Structure 1
Amino acid sequence: MLFKLIPGLKTLMHYPSSNLSGDLTAGMIVAVLLIPQSMAYAIIAGVPLEMGLYAATFPLIFYALFGKSKYLSVGPVSIVSLIVFTGVSGIAQPNTDQFLELVVVLGLMVGCLHLIMGLLKIGDLFDYISPSVINGFISAAAIIIAVNQIKELMGVTLPAYHNLFQYSMEVIRNLPKTNLYTLAIGFMSIFILAILKKRTTRSPGPLLVVLITTVAVQALDLNKMGVEVVGEIPSGLPELTFQMPSLHSMKLLLPVAVMIAFISFLESFAVVKVFSSKEKDRIHANQELIGLGLANIVSSFVGSIPVAGGLSRTAVNYQAGAKSKLSLLFTALFVLISLLYLTPLFYYLPKSALAAIIIVAVVNLIKIKQLPNLLKKAPYEALIYLATFVTTLMIDIFLGLIIGIILSIIMNQIRKGLYYEVYTSGKK
C-alpha cells in the first residue's frame, strides 16, 4: 500500500547497485543543464534568480518520490514561467513584494488543483483535448518568449509585450541604443549553443556559455561598458515557509492557476508519454497529477515558482543513461550543492547569455512545420492550430488558449455530427 502511495520508495528500497553509475552520471549532466535554465526561466517569470534555482531542488525530490516516470525532470519551464509573469503582472506591479508573494501563492494553488484532479481521477480526460490546441499555444508562446529576450540581447529597456507587431516596432525604434558588447555576447552565446547542440545530444552548451561569458565579462571589465550582469545571488538553502493566502488573492489568481495547472500537466504528461513508450512503461495520468501537484505545493513552500516537466532536460536525462528515479534525486542534490557553495561564481554572468540560452531552448518548441501537413490531411486540426496560434501571438495568451479549447470542442461535435450523418445514410 505504501509503495502505491509513494512509488519512489520502491525504487529506493529495491535499488540494484548496477544502476548507480548511470543514475549518478545522468543526474550530474542534467544538473549542469538545469542550473543555467533555472536562472533563465526565473528571468521570464520576473522573479529573482534564486527563486528559479529553488524550484530545481525540493520540488524535484517530491516528484521523484510521488510521480511515476523514471525520467521526468521537474523544475522551471519556459511556457509556465511566461504565464506566471503575464498573469501576475496583470494583478501586481513586477519587482514588488506583492508580485513575489502572489507568484508563491500561485504555485500553491496550481499544486492543489493538480492534487485534486489526481485524487478525483480525472487525469484521463486530458486525452480528449486536441493536440493542435497545445501545439498552437506552445508555438506562439515560444515565439513570445524568444521575442521578449531581444531587449536583453540589445542591452536596452523596452515596454511590456502586448502583441508581436507593436513590440517589433519598439525593437526597431530602439536599435540605435543597442549596446554592442551586450549584442556580441548574446550572438556568440547563440552560436556556441547552436553548434554544440548539433554535435552532441548531451549538450554541455548552457554551462559552457555561462563559464565563457562570465570569465570574459570579469576579465575585460565589460560590466563597466554597460553589459548588464546578474549580480549577487543569495547562497544557502531555501527556507520552508507558509503564509495563508487571502481569499481576495486566490480569486484574482484562480484563472491563471487553472491555466497553468492545465498547461503544465499537459506538457509534462506529453513528455512522460514519449519516454514511457520507449521503455514500454505503463502511464498513470492520475499518479502524474499527484506527483506534479506535490512538487508545486513544495515549490510554493520554499518560496519559488510553479514547476512542470521539461522536455529537453528529460531527454538529456534519458540519453545520459538514467536507469531510475535516483537520477532525479542526484540532480536535485547537485543543485542544492550549487546553492550552498557556487552562487558567488555567477556574479558576472551577463544577462544576454541567459537570454541566448532561453532563445535556443524555446526554438524547438515552435511547431510550425507541421501546419502544411495538417492543411492537407486534417483541415479541422489546422484551423484549431491557426486560431490558437494567431490569437495567442497577436492578441492575448489567455484568450488564445480559451479560443483554442472552445474551437476544439465545436469541431469535435461537428465531426461527430458528420460521422453520424454518413453512418445513418449508409444504413438506409
Structure 2
Amino acid sequence: MHSIFVYMLKRYFPILEWLPKYKKSYLAGDFSAGITVGIMLIPQGMAYALIAGLPPIYGLYAALVPNLIYVFTGSSRKLAVGPVALDSLIVASSLAAMKIANVTDYISMAIFLALFVGVIQLVMGFMRLGFLSNFLSRPVVSGFTSAAALVIGVSQLKHFFGLEISTNNTVKTLQAIFSQISETNFYDLTIGVAAVLVILGLKKLHRKLPAAMVVVILAIVGIYLFMVNDTDVHIVGQIPQGLPAFLIPELNVDMMVRAFPTAMALAFIAFAEAMTIAKAVEDKSQEYFTEPNQELRALGLSNIIGSFFQSFPANAGLSRTAVNVDEGAKTGIASLISVVVVGVTLLFLTPFFYYLPKSVLGAIIILAVYGLIDLKYPKQLWAQRKDEFYLFLVTFLTTLLIGISQGIIFGVLFSLLLLVYRISRPHIAVLGKIKGMEYFKNLKRFPEDVEVHDEILMIRFDAQLFFANVQYFKSQLMKEVSLKGDGLKYVILNAEPVNYIDNTALNQLEKTVENLKEAGIVFKIAGAIGPIRDILQKSGFLNVIGKENVYVRTAEAYEDCLKKMERTALQEKVSLQYK
C-alpha cells in the first residue's frame, strides 16, 4: 500500500522523482538558465500582457504563480511556463469579440479564462485525453504558428507608430495604420526601430546576451533623462508594486457561457503547443519522458491556482524554453530561480518601469515572434506533398484572415477530412512475380521484370477493409478484372497489409466473390494474419470462397494457380488428340 501511495505521489508530483536525485553538477546550468529566463520574463511578460489587452503588471503575475506550480507538477523538467504571445492574442481576440464594457470587467474575464482553461485541462488530464494532441499534424501546427506570428507582429505595429487602434483584426489593423499614417508619433517610431536594431546588434555580438532586458534598461534611462513632455512618447506608466493578492475569480453562469468556446479552444491549443515544445526538448536531450496526461494536469493546476493570484492563461513559452535549454538547465530548479527573479522584481523594481516605452515592448514581441515564421517548410511541402501543403495553406489563411481560434479548428477539421479521404482511397497495387525470384511486386514499379499471366490477377490492398473504403476496393478490383479480359480465371488478394475487416466489408466481399464465381473466376486469399483468419472463420466467409482457396503465402496461391492452369491445358490437349 505504501509503495502504491509513493508511486501515485511521484506520478502527480514529478518533482518527488527528480529532486532526490539532484546532483551538484546541475546547479551551475540551472542557476544560469534561471537567471537568464527570469530576466527575459520581465519584459516579455509585460509585452504579452499588452497583447492580451491587459495592464503590463498582469504579465508579471502570469509569470509568477503558474511557473511555480508547474515546477512541482510538470513532467517536463525544462519547460518555461508563463505568459505567451499566442495565448495572449487568443485572449485579446476572444474578449474583444465579447464587447466587454469596461477595463475592470475585461480583466475579470481574462482571469476567469485562466480558471476555466485550467479546469478543462485538469479534467482532460484525469480523463487521459492527452492523445488528442496527436490530431495536430505538423502542417497544421506550422501554418497556425506562422500565421499567428504575423497576426501578433501586426498587432504591435500600433505601438511602433504610436497610433490608437482598437481592433485586433489583422486586415482592419493594417487598414487603420495606412489610413492614420500621417498621425504617426515619430518619437515612438524612432525608439521602436532603435530597439530592434540594438537587440539584433547585441544578439549578433553574442547570442546569449539578455538583449531585451538591456534595451528595456536603456530605454527607461533615456526616457527618464530626456523626455520633456509626458505626451511625447507612449509609456507604460504606473505599475503596482508587490506580489499579487489572493482573490477568488468572479464566477457566474453568463461568464461561463460566454467564455466556454474560447476556454475549450485555448485549453486544447495551449496543451498542443506545450506538448510540441516538450517533445522537441525531450527528443533533443533523451534524459526523461514527457507524459501527456500529466502535462495536462500540470498546466491545468498552474492555470487554476494562477487565477487565484490574478494570472491570465499561461503556457509553455517556446523562446524561453529554448533559452532554458541553451543555458544548460537540467531540472525545474531553473524555473524556480526564474520565479524568484520575477518575485523580486514585483516586490522592489516595478516603479522603475514607469518610463518604459510601449514601442520597446512592441519591438521585443515582433523580434520574438519573427523566428516562428517558417518559410522553408511550406516550400518543402509544395515539392513533396501538395495535399499537405493545401492543409498548411488553409490553416495559415484562416488564422491570418479570420481568427486564431477558427484557424486551429479549421486546421484540425481539414486534417481529419484529409485523413478520411486517404483512408477511403488507400493504395492498391496489381502484383506480378519477379522473374526467377519469390518476390511479388507492383507491376507499375517493375514493368519489365515481372511474369504476367492473363489468367491470374494478383492485387494487394494496403489498408484495413471497412465500410468507408470497401466500395473503392470493389470498384478498383472490378476495374482490374475487366482490364484482364475473358481469359481471367483467378483473383489472388494479398491480404498481408489488411489488419481488420468489418461486417459491411465482409458482406460486400461475399457479393463480389459470388459475382466472380458467376463469371467463372476463383477468388483466393493469401497471407492473411491471424486476426483476419479468425474473422473469416467466424463470419462463414471461408465457406463462400472455400478453405482450399486460403493460403499462408502469396507464392503458394500463385503456384497453385499455375499448376491448375497447366493441368487444364493438358486435359484440353488430350481431349483434342482423343478425337
Residue deviations 1:247-291 (CA, integer Å, cap 9, x gap): 221111010001111111111111111111122121211111111
Partner residue, 1:367 = 374
- SS of 1:427 mapped into structure 2: strand
**Letter in structure 1 aligned against 2:261:** P
Shift of residue 427, structure 1, vs aligned partner: 3.4
Query: Which residue of 2 is the match for residue 357 of structure 1?
Result: 364
Q: 1:410 aligns with which of 414, 417, 420?
A: 417
C-alpha distance in 2 between matches for 1:263 and 1:295: 16
Aligned residues of 1:276 and 1:283 also touching (Cα < 8 A)? yes
Residues 381 and 215 of structure 1, relative CA distance in 2, 3 Å threshold? same
* Alignment match of 2:324 (pick from 314, 317, 321): 317
Cα distance in 1 for partners of 2:245, 2:179 equals 44
Q: Which residue is 2:440 aligned to?
A: none
The Cα RMSD (Å) is 1.7
Equivalent position of 1:108 in the other structure? 115
Between 241-250 and 269-278, the greater mean CA deviation after superposition: 241-250
Residue in 2 that maps onto 1:334: 341
- 1:219 & 1:302 partners in 2: Cα distance? 35
Structure 2 vs 1, CA of residues 311 and 243 (structure 1 numbering), >3 Å: closer, same or farther?
Answer: closer
Aligned partner of 2:52 in structure 1 is 45
The structure 2 residue matched to 1:73, chosen from 67, 80, 92, is 80
Q: Deviations over 1:13-62 (max 9, x none)?
A: 44323322221121111111111000000000011111110111111111
Q: 1:385 is matched with which residue?
A: 392
Q: Higher mean Cα deviation, 93-102 or 312-321?
A: 93-102
Give the distance between the partners of 2:159 and 2:102, measured in 1 at CA. Answer: 17
Matched, 1:266 2:272: yes
TM alignment of 1:240-279, pairs within 5 A: 240-243=246-249, 245-279=251-285
Worse-superposed segment, 166-175 or 206-215: 166-175
Alignment partners' CA distance in 1, 2:181 and 2:427: 58
Give how far 1:67 is off.
0.3
Q: Which amino acid aligns with 1:354?
A: L
Could you say which structure has the larger radius of gyration?
2
Size of the alignment, in residue pairs? 427
- Paired amino acid for 1:253: A
CA deviations on 1:176-198 (whole Å, 9 max, x unpaired) are 11111111100011111222334
Q: Secondary structure at the match of 1:35?
A: helix
One-letter amino acid of the structure 2 residue matched with residue 358 of structure 1: I
* 8 A contact 2:391–2:414 mirrored in 1: yes
Structure 2 equivalent of residue 427 of structure 1: 493
Tell me how far apart the structure 1 counterparts of residues 275 and 97 of structure 2 sit (CA, whole Å).
Answer: 28
2:236 counterpart of 1:236 = no
Q: Say which of 138, 154, 158 aligns to 2:165.
A: 158
Verify the 8 A CA contact 2:41 2:63 in the aligned structure 1. Answer: yes
Work out the CA distance in 2 between the residues paired with 1:176 and 1:163: 20
More displaced stretch, 416-425 vs 171-180 = 416-425
Larger % of strand: which? 2
Q: How far off is 1:129 after superposition?
A: 2.3
Per-residue deviation at 1:359? Answer: 0.4
| Distance (whole Å) between structure 2 residues aligned to residue 92 and residue 159 of structure 1 | 11
Q: What code does the residue aligned with 1:195 have?
A: G
1:397 offset after TM fit, Å? 2.6
Q: CA deviation at 1:395?
A: 2.3
**Per-residue displacement from partner, 1:105-148 (whole Å, max 9, x unpaired)?**
11011111111111111102311322212221221111111111
Give 2:181's aligned amino acid. Answer: L
Which runs of no fewer than 5 residues in structure 2 stay unpaired? 1-5, 430-459, 462-476, 478-491, 495-579
Q: Output the amino acid matched with 1:5.
A: Y
Q: More displaced, 267-276 or 391-400?
A: 391-400
Letter in 1 for 2:426: Y
Worse-matched range after superposition: 195-204 or 213-222:
195-204
Task: Measure, in 1, the Cα distance between the counterparts of 2:113 and 2:183.
Answer: 36
The one-letter code of the counterpart of 2:214 is L
Contact in 1 for aligned 2:84/2:316 (Cα 8 Å): yes
For residue 274 of structure 2, give the secondary structure of its aligned residue in structure 1: helix
Summarize deviations over 1:343-365 as a string: whole Å, max 9, x none. Answer: 01111000000000010001111
Pairing 1:308–2:310 present: no
Per-residue CA deviation, residues 144-171 of structure 1 (Å, 9 max, x unaligned), is 111111111111112413342x332221
Q: Which residue in the other structure is 1:147 paired with?
A: 154
Amino acid at match of 2:328: G
Unaligned runs of 5+ in 1: none
C-alpha distance in structure 2 between counterparts of 1:387 and 1:358, whole Å: 25
Q: Is the 8 A contact 1:47 1:95 kept in 2?
A: no
Q: Which of 374, 393, 401 is matched with 1:394 structurally? A: 401
Contact 1:181 1:222 (8 Å CA) reproduced: no
Structure 1 residue 200: deviation in Å? 3.2
Distance 1:196 1:233 in 2: 28
Whether the 8 Å contact between 2:155 and 2:170 is mirrored in structure 1 is no
Q: How does 1:112-131 map to 2 (within 5 A)?
A: 112-131=119-138
Query: CA–CA distance in 2 between the matches of 1:400 and 1:223?
Result: 43
Matched AA of 1:400: G
Question: How many Å separate the matches in 2 of 1:305 and 1:229?
Answer: 22
The answer to whether structure 1 residue 179 and structure 2 residue 245 are counterparts is no
Distance (whole Å) between structure 2 residues aligned to residue 403 and residue 324 of structure 1: 37
1:52-63 equivalent positions in 2, closer than 5 A: 52-63=59-70
Q: What is the Cα deviation at residue 95 of structure 1?
A: 5.1
User: Hey, what's the Cα distance between the residues in 2 that align with 1:246 and 1:24?
Assistant: 43
Distance in 2 of aligned mates of 1:22 and 1:223: 45
Residue 256 of structure 2 aligns to which amino acid in structure 1?
M
What is the TM-score of this pair, normalised by structure 2?
0.71
Query: Is the contact made by 2:43 and 2:216 (CA closer than 8 Å) also made in structure 1?
Result: yes
- Pick the structure with more helix per residue: 1
Q: Deviations over 1:318-340 (max 9, x none)?
A: 11121211111010011001100
The 3-state SS of whatever aligns with 2:241 is coil
Name the SS for the 2:213 alignment partner. helix
In 2, the alpha carbon distance for the partners of 1:199 and 1:419 equals: 53
- Which whole-Å CA distance do the structure 2 matches of 1:95 and 1:135 have between them? 36
1:84 matches 2:91 = yes
State the SS of the aligned residue for 1:304. Answer: coil
- Percent identity over the alignment? 37
Q: Secondary structure at the match of 1:370?
A: helix
Q: Any conservation in 2 of the 1:181–1:225 contact (CA below 8 Å)?
A: no
Match of 1:348 among 307, 331, 355: 355
Contact 2:269 2:408 in 1 (8 A): no
